[in-house]
Structure 1
Amino acid sequence: MLNNVKALRQEKQMSQATLADMAKVSRPYLSDVENGKVVPSITIAKRLATALGESIENVFFSKMSYMVDRSSKITE
């Protein structure tokens, strides 16, 4: 499952260990989520989103690819 966990974590300058601790999951499990190897339960998805300060939609269902930095501004 594609998601924005890794991009959001990096944007917030969090380590995998920190996010894993905050979401009460193991670091290897978080790595698997970030790499799309596992789909987290809704409970874990909510904990990850909360730890990232984002909605579940932004973390798991957003079409935003995070290939573009969210802080960059579009100028005319």
Structure 2
Amino acid sequence: MNGLQLMVLVQGLKLEIKTWETGHRLQLTRESSLHALKRLTGEDFGRGLRARQRALAWLEDVAEANGIALRK
């Protein structure tokens, strides 16, 4: 996974988490960011809001380990 993919997935997960909490469950693309992450990495975080939060934390750790700066 390259830096651009990582940043897009982080932004997508943040949007999905934000809208999930308001009850609208919006996603940027046809495929959810959680499913795209599983497809790209093979990591399974489960389903739902907590899975998205775990995936976001995991992606932020990966970005930090690889020296990729994410905007907060």
TM-score band, normalised by shorter chain: 0.3 to 0.5
Q: Say which structure, 1 or 2, has more relative contact order (CA 8 Å, 6+ apart).
A: 1
Which structure carries more helix by proportion? Answer: 2
TM-score (norm 1): 0.32
TM-score (norm 2): 0.33
